[in-house]
Amino acid sequence: MLEFFKNPFSVYKEEIDKLQLEGAHVKYCALALCVMFNNHIKEEWLTEDVDKDIKTIIKNTYEACKVMKGTSRLVLRDELDSLTHTFIRKDDDVYRTIHDKLFDFLAYYFGSAMIYCLIKNASYIFIRERFLFEKESSSDEFIITVPERYQQIYINRLVDDWLKGRVADVFCNINMDDPIFTHRFLVHVKGLQISQQEQLASICDTKSNSTSLIQCSYIGYIDLVTWCLHHYIGNVNHCRDDGVSPLFMACQEGHTEVVQMLITNNADINKCRDTGASPLFIACQNGHTEVVQMLITNNADINKCRDNDGASPLFIACQNGHTEVVKMLITNNADINKCRDTGASPLFMACQEGHTEVVQMLITNNADINKCSDDGASPLFTWLVRKDILK
């Protein structure tokens, strides 16, 4: 017991190793399947008819765990039940590990014991979050490093997921933060047949309707965006279900080079998302100065307000204290007194948030210092209240 509290995962490892050594292959497989299904095994998958994909995952995991061919899924359920309170808990007819850290350990354990089976069969969410090509010393101790011999198999799996419409999951993969990986991934994609490249570039996500171009714009890797624009046969302004366009996404993330490329390829500079927020609005909100300048230069509507609250690009820049953006907007004749639906002006909001430099800039440029919000509060009153609170 003392050893468990000192190093619980070494104890768990010994127990799992023992299952395999003693021939308890179905029990061992039950734990492996917890990993395959990303810690979410529905009991109905073991007792009722299931789709082909789930059957295939179970069949392939059986083989990797040396489970006898033809073993009933009911036996698997019994073994999961036998693991309750030690490894497994059951909530609302779903089997999970007893706590998240234990799942992290199991993921790492089976990532070492059967990495090929995992890459080929694990949940796309697991694939997205748990594998790294290059592991830094500061990384999570339970992240699985993909050995060189399995790296191409991993890339092939991402392409398979992409073809199945899991576009966002592919491009939100943790490896996409690494330019070396992204380059290698793109080299592989460019090596596919042209018809398949066009298919990939044009696929929409099955959940959000996000396009490959939107996801490439999110990452900001310019070579990937260039490839996508070259092979994409759809509209450059095609939006996902929430109205986000490729240009909006690039502006949100501050990818200046991507923004320029999309504008050059006829992206609608004023196309808003479902809240009414424009590409300029989101760039101002996030303080992306170069993007703001580029949008203004290309005739973005500087006073286009968000539909759900009436906030303007200047208002949101003042709220967030982005001084350079505020200066740029004022220089380009943004309406300095344009209020949101509550009657709050840009000056009012800058006072409320305590952005002194922004307040001075607004007053210097003749902002209405007496403009009150709908509840009667003036900018000066708001400023004094804030100072009093901070004392």
Contacts of 49 by beta carbon, 8 Å cutoff, 6+ apart: none
Do 35 and 118 fall into the same domain? yes
CA distances from 145 to 86, 174, 175, 185, 211 (A): 27, 12, 11, 17, 29
Do 259 and 362 fall into the same domain? no
Q: What string of pLDDT tens digits covers the 391 residues of the chain? A: 444 444 667 888 889 999 989 999 999 999 999 999 999 999 999 999 999 999 999 999 999 999 999 999 999 999 999 999 889 999 999 999 999 999 999 999 999 999 999 999 999 999 999 999 976 654 567 889 999 999 999 999 999 999 999 999 999 999 999 999 999 999 999 999 999 999 999 999 999 999 999 999 999 999 999 999 999 888 999 999 999 999 999 999 999 999 999 999 999 999 999 999 999 999 999 999 999 999 999 999 999 998 889 999 999 999 999 999 999 999 999 999 999 999 999 999 999 999 999 999 999 999 998 888 888 777 777 777 665 444 4
**In degrees rounded to 5, what are phi and psi of residue 139?**
-70, 165
Do 293 and 306 fall into the same domain? no
CB 326 within 8 Å of CB 358 = yes
Do 11 and 114 fall into the same domain? yes
Q: Comparing C-alpha atoms, which of 182, 340, 185, 322 is closest to residue 254?
A: 322
Q: Comparing C-alpha atoms, which of 214, 194, 207, 154 is closest to residue 178?
A: 154
CB 182 within 8 Å of CB 139 = no
Domain span including residue 54: 7-122
Residues 4-26: b if buried by 16+ CB within 10 A, e if exposed: eeeeebeebeeebeebeeeebbb
pLDDT at 180: 93
Do 117 and 12 fall into the same domain? yes
Give domain status of residue 330, yes or no.
Answer: yes
CB 310 within 8 Å of CB 340 = yes
CA distances from 218 to 9, 88, 177, 331 (A): 38, 38, 11, 29
Residue listed under structure tokens 């050059």: 264
Do 160 and 138 fall into the same domain? yes
pLDDT at 386: 62
Give domain status of residue 213, yes or no.
Answer: no
Give domain status of residue 165, yes or no.
Answer: yes
Do 52 and 137 fall into the same domain? no
CB 40 within 8 Å of CB 78 = no
Query: In this structure, what token pair is assigned to residue 162?
Result: 């992409």
Give domain status of residue 228, yes or no.
Answer: no
Q: What's CA 370's distance to the chain center, in Å?
A: 43
Q: Which CATH number does the domain housing residue 350 bear?
A: 1.25.40.20
Helix (H, G, I), strand (E, B) or coil at 369: coil
Domain-terminating residue out of 167, 191, 207: 207
Do 31 and 113 fall into the same domain? yes
Residues 156-172: b if buried by 16+ CB within 10 A, e if exposed: ebbbebbeebbbbbbbb
Do 19 and 118 fall into the same domain? yes
CA–CA separation, 170 and 176 (whole Å)? 9
Domain-terminating residue out of 246, 272, 301: 301
CB 304 within 8 Å of CB 278 = yes
Helix (H, G, I), strand (E, B) or coil at 116: helix
Q: Comparing C-alpha atoms, which of 233, 213, 235, 234 is closest to residue 224?
A: 213
pTM: 0.88
Give domain status of residue 154, yes or no.
Answer: yes
Where does the chain show beta strands of DSSP type E?
Answer: 41-42, 88-91, 94-97, 131-132, 144-145
Domain-terminating residue out of 254, 271, 301: 301
Do 23 and 99 fall into the same domain? yes
Where does residue 252 rank: exposed (0-12), middle (13-18), buried (19+ CB within 10 A)? Answer: buried
Residue listed under structure tokens 């793109």: 186
CA–CA separation, 53 and 254 (whole Å)? 39
Give domain status of residue 294, yes or no.
Answer: yes
pLDDT at 373: 82
Q: What's CA 51's distance to the chain center, in Å?
A: 27
CB 289 within 8 Å of CB 251 = no
Do 61 and 131 fall into the same domain? no
Give domain status of residue 218, yes or no.
Answer: no
CA–CA separation, 28 and 343 (whole Å)? 64
Do 271 and 316 fall into the same domain? no
pLDDT at 286: 98
Q: Read off the DSSP letter of residue 204.
A: B
Give domain status of residue 313, yes or no.
Answer: yes
Tell me the β-bridge partners of 144.
Answer: 131
Task: Tell me how many domains the chain contains.
Answer: 4
pLDDT at 390: 45
